[in-house]
Structure 1
Amino acid sequence: MTPMPKALIFDCDGTLVLTGDLHFAAFTEAFALQGDALDLAFYHARGGLARRELIADWVADSGSPIDIDRAVRDSIDAAAKLARTGQCAPNPPVAALARAWGARPSAVASNGEAPVVHAILRGAGLHALFDTVVTLSDVPAAKPDPAMFLLAAARLGTAPADCLVLEDSAQGMEAARRAGIPALDVREATALATVEHLTRSLTAPA
């Protein structure tokens, strides 16, 4: 089993909070403003991509004439609005670990933009659990660039090797590898078993 780390760094979308439907609804609303519609299968196949990359891929693949900058702005606004209406369900085993972690150092590091990530965490009732939240707004490049995780570790005052990342995307796992931080891919049953083991270890009677 994974040894107890000194700090935890959580991805947000799909890892800590189940936001797939929320983001697709936001893209749907934003694209409709320009007379377009995002394909659901295309969206699911690109989980983990930053917003601008996903929209740019759609334009390149579909030949859509939508304005990328406008679609980015409109989808950010729509996602933040949806998050504020409470459409944010925590991912139960991962959220349980975040709660059990208590006052120990912890962070969120997300490819989302600051207004959206903070709204999602507040909507899910998890925002107050974390010492710091690092978003795409804080770094020059999205995952798989390691900057986001390295900044989170630095803000927590913890060496990267002493942290543990929880992720749900290939981009996030690669970013953790480049940052030199051990990581769990919560899409895998063995990783979820480790998450549950850590939670039990933290909540077991002394």
Structure 2
Amino acid sequence: MKYKAVIFDLDGVLCHTDHLHYRAWKQLADRLGIPFDQELNNQLRGVSRMESLDIVLRAGGVEADLPQREQWAAEKNTVYAKSLDTLTPQDLEPSVLSTLQTLRSRGLLLGVGSSSKNAPRILERLGLGDFFDTVVSGLDIRNSKPDPEVFLLAAKNLGTPPKDCLVVEDAVAGVEAAHRGGMDAAAMGDAARSGAGEYTLNEFSELLNITAA
């Protein structure tokens, strides 16, 4: 096989918590008097919490020192983290579990590379807590995508050279991170519509065709 490992982004790939992020960011933005819509929310995909906050503040022309920004970021995360309690295995994207099981049966190593510090908790809620060979989250890295740190650390943990890893991403920043790390990318969602990635996935299960070669 061309690839020995597959590294997945989490939100927008394995599941969708975008609507939960949207509600949490909008609640904060409304309190700060900043207009917040889906277009602005889309700019936050694949970006760390603090960088996301900075994008929101710039959009509203709001300036604040670091302690205040950290307080606002924590406030947003409290709302978001509480909403994660609503997640169940039924929130997995269609065909995710069966596809992951087939990939594992083929001997491929599986990892998660997410900028979210909540990634381990989300995986637990989805019933995938022990499914992956490595999970690298925002708790483990200093630099968020498009920096390749999260994917390079995942590859290192898997003991697999970057060139033998395939990254599955839905954000353009995530595809760029994969490329900067020397990895191919299969694009979904926004990334696919932007023409990013070596492969385009219209359905998650199409990953089986790519990795069969």
Report the TM-score when normalising by structure 2: 0.80
- Give how far 1:129 is off: 1.4
2:10 partner SS: coil
Alignment correspondent of 2:208? 199
Distance 2:29 2:40 in 1: 14
After TM superposition, the runs of 4+ consecutive aligned structure 1 residues lying more than 6 A away are 200-203
**Closer, same or farther: CA 95–39 of 1 in aligned 2, 3 Å:** farther
Name stretches of at least 5 consecutive residues in structure 2 with no aligned partner: 194-198
Q: Which residue of 2 aligns with 1:124?
A: 126
In the TM superposition, residue 68 of structure 1 has moved relative to its aligned partner by 1.7
Structure 1: tracts of 5 or more residues without a match: none
Equivalent residues, number: 198
Contact 1:106 1:131 in 2 (8 A): yes
Q: Percent identity?
A: 31
Note the aligned Cα RMSD (angstroms): 2.7
Task: Give the C-alpha shift of residue 76 in structure 1.
Answer: 1.9
For the Cα contact (< 8 Å) 1:99–1:129, is it kept in 2?
A: no
Return the letter of the residue paired with 2:50: R
Q: For the structure 1 residues 37 and 125, does the alpha-carbon distance in structure 2 shift closer, same or farther, using more than 3 Å as the test?
A: farther
Deviations 1:24-67 (A, max 9, x none): 122234445x5445512311243222221121111122123673
SS at match of 2:145: coil
Q: Does the Cα contact within 8 Å between 2:35 and 2:60 map onto a contact in 1?
A: no
**Where do residues 75-94 of structure 1 align in structure 2 (5 Å cutoff)?**
75-86=76-87, 89-94=91-96
| Residue of structure 2 in register with 1:28 after alignment | 26
Question: What code does the residue aligned with 1:12 have?
Answer: L
Report deviation, 1:200: 6.5
CA–CA separation in structure 2 for the residues paired with 1:198 and 1:169: 17
